Amino acid sequence: MEGKIIQKNGEIVEVYGYKVFAPGLVGRQNFQFEVGKQYHENHVSFGSQGFHFCLRLEDTLCSPVHREFCLVRGFGKIQSYDDDYYGYYDMFCCSDIEIIKKISREEILTAYSKMKDDYFKKARYERFKHGFLFTQEELEKYNFLTPKKKVKSLR
């Protein structure tokens, strides 16, 4: 699942991407978000102030917690950031954010299960598969199970 960057005169004016929340759409410092609402913060700084989100959903999978995912629109003052050390790219921090809609687990799993056979999306699929918390049923239903390799006997 990939968002979209909108530019005007070579400058980013809007970014559609994905933001992860704790259950109940709770963000940092227990801030409560709601679908359909817009939020503003005066200062923008990666890691501390502003609204953080990623262009691709698999880049939101940094920590192993129960999550809720939303499609968001970032605007106003926009900073972009890449983290070469962790391999996450196209992250954004904005002064303004709109929570467009909540993304269901089924939507996410269906989209990523279609990526596994696409040569050009294989790395994104593997990052998703590595970071997403699956139930056993989901692994089986969407065919995310890794085939077991046959091991030659040393005898």
The 10s digit of each residue's pLDDT in 114-143 is 888 888 888 888 888 888 888 889 988 888
Predicted TM-score (pTM) of the model is 0.84
- Flag whether pLDDT at 86 surpasses 90: no
pLDDT band of 102, cuts 50, 70, 90: very high
Please name every residue paired with 103 in a beta bridge, in sequence order, or none if there are none.
69
The more confident residue out of 20 and 145 is 20
In this prediction, residue 140 carries a pLDDT of 87
- Flag whether pLDDT at 104 surpasses 90: yes
The 10s digit of each residue's pLDDT in 10-24 is 999 999 999 999 999
The more confident residue out of 81 and 46 is 81
- Flag whether pLDDT at 35 surpasses 70: yes
In this prediction, residue 64 carries a pLDDT of 58
Look up residue 97 and give its two tokens. Answer: 């954010």
In this prediction, residue 13 carries a pLDDT of 95
CB 88: neighbour CB atoms within 10 A? 18
Average of per-residue pLDDT values in the chain? 85
Contact 130, 62 (CB under 8 A): no
Query: Which DSSP string corresponds to the chain?
Result: -B-EEEEETTEEEEEEEEEEEBTTTB-GGGPBP-TT-EEE-S--BTTTBSEEEESBGGGG--S-S--EEEEEEEEEEEEEEEETTTTEEEEEEEEEEEEEEEEPHHHHHHHHHTTTT-GGGHHHHHHHHHHS---HHHHHHTT-PPPPPP-----
Spell out the domains of the chain, with CATH numbers in brackets: 4-103 (3.20.170), 107-141 (no CATH)
